[in-house]
Amino acid sequence: MVAVRRVRRTVLYLVLTLFAGLYLLPVYVVAVTSLKTGAAIDLAHMWALPRTFSVGSLGAAWTQLGPNFINSLYLTIPATVISSLIGAMNGYALSKWRFRGSNTIFFLILLGMFIPYQAVLIPVLRVLEAIRLDGTIPGLILVNVVYGIPITTLIFRNFYVGIPREMIEAGQMDGAGYWGIFRRIVLPLSASGFVVAGIWQFTQIWNNFLFAVAVTTPPHQPVTVAVVNIAGSQTIQWNVQMASALMASIPTLVVYILLGKYFVRGLLAGSVKG
């Protein structure tokens, strides 16, 4: 039995490693390309390691991306937090306090997820101008929060559906009201929900280019705009483009690692027991 188990574990790790390799293959090309000099980039030798390592493109990318990084943080952190919280509150209302028409409302919120951003570019700019938020990061936060509501609401509603009704009822027995139950019972169980919603929102907002480029003007532009600009329009510098793309994805990776910690096993089970 122990031997069987050991074989299984080995196969498990082999399969995981194989997939990890496959997933990292394109990342390898990004990294290798970003270390090459412009003239050395050639499709026929894309797999080859650079003959002379050039960190020039990394340096060039950093000097140009730096200020935009800060803008992206100012944009992404509040927008992610606000839209996740709104999603949690909506999801709580829609899953634990069903009322007549609550499914219709959920449905109306959900449909908002399907709107193609290219189609609403002009009206978005008009509305932002009308409320005098055009060209600013708060304006961009507003847009990202609004278009993030459907997805975060969906994530939290479907997550909260799994919380047993008895727990809510137990809270009511203890005399807790709407917000008391949310704060003391539901929110502490929401870690995995916040992980999923946070990963999605942070990535989407951090990487969103269309709204970023249309809504903000320099010097308020986030890093995606800089990443695209840095590569050039007419002559594209692949090495700088890859270096900046890689660099711009690091904060997102950090978020995955930080949030990933809260994928803790048995969170729900433990609390039901306790």
Partner 1 sequence: MKRRISWDHWSAVLVLVPSLAALGVFVYGFIVWTGYLSLTDWNSYIPNFHWAGLRNYVAVFETFRFQSDIRNLIVFTALFILGCLVLGLFLAVLIDQKIRAESLFRSIFIFPMAISFVATGVIWSWLLNPQTGVNLILRALGDTHPPQWFLSTAIVPSIPLGLIQVGIPLALVAVTLAAIWQMSGFAMAIYLAGLRAIPDEMKEAARIDGAGAWRLFWSVIFPQLKSSTVTAVIILSAASLKVFGLIYAMTGPGQDFTTDMPTLNMFQTTFQGSQFADGAAIATILFLIMAAFSIPYLITVLRREEEA
Partner 2 sequence: MSIKKRAGMALASVLALGTIAACGTQPSTTSSSPANGSKQLQIFSWWTGVASSKALAALNTQFVKEYPQFKVINEAVAGGAGSNAKAVLASRMEAGNPPSTFQVHAGHGQLYSWVQAGDMSSLNALYRQQGWYHDYPQSLLNLLTFHGKIYAVPVDMQRGNVLWYNPTLFHRYHLTPPRTFTQFFQDAQVLKSHGITPLALANHGNWEATLLWSDVLLGTVGPTQYDALLAGHASWTSPGVVQATQTFTRMLKYANTDYTALHWQQADQLVAQGKAGMNVMGDWAQGYFTTDLHLTPGTGFGWAPTPGTQGTFAVVSDVFGLPSHVKNKTATLDYLKVLGSAKGQAIFNPLKGTFSPRLDANPKAYDAYSRSAMQSYKRDKLVLVIGQGAVNPGFTNAVNNAMEILVSNHNVSQFVHSLASAAQANPLP
Task: Determine the Cα–Cα distance for residues 158 and 103; give it in Å rounded to an integer.
Answer: 12
Q: What are phi and psi of 131, to 5 degrees?
A: -100, 15
Q: Which residues contact 172 (CB under 8 A, 6 or more apart)?
A: 181
Which of the choices partner 2, partner 1, none does residue 102 contact, using the CB cut-off of 5 to 8 A by kind? partner 1
State in angstroms the smallest separation of the CB of 53 from partner 1.
20
d(CA 250, CA 154): 27
Q: Look up residue 224 and give its two tokens.
A: 């995606």
Residue whose CB is less far from partner 1, 96 or 220:
96
Cα first-last separation, the chain: 34
216 three-state secondary structure: strand
Q: Residue 240: left if φ>0, alpha if ψ -120 to 50, beta else—which one?
A: alpha
> Which alpha helices (H) appear in 115-164, and where do they start and end?
121-130, 137-160
Q: Give the shortest CB-233-to-partner 2 separation in angstroms.
A: 4
- Which of partner 2, partner 1, none sits in contact with 252, Cβ below 5 to 8 A by type? partner 1
Closer of 47 and 99 to partner 2 (Cβ) = 47
* Residues found near partner 2 in the complex (CB under 8 A): 38-39, 42-43, 73-74, 77-78, 80-82, 85, 118, 121-122, 125-126, 129, 134-138, 141, 187-191, 194, 198, 209, 213-214, 217-220, 225, 228-237, 262, 264, 267, 270-271, 274
Q: Taking the complex as a whole, how short is the minimal distance between the CB of residue 230 and partner 2, in angstroms?
A: 7
Give the one entry of partner 2, partner 1, none that residue 105 binds, where binding means its C-beta sits below a cut-off of 5 to 8 angstroms depending on kind.
partner 1
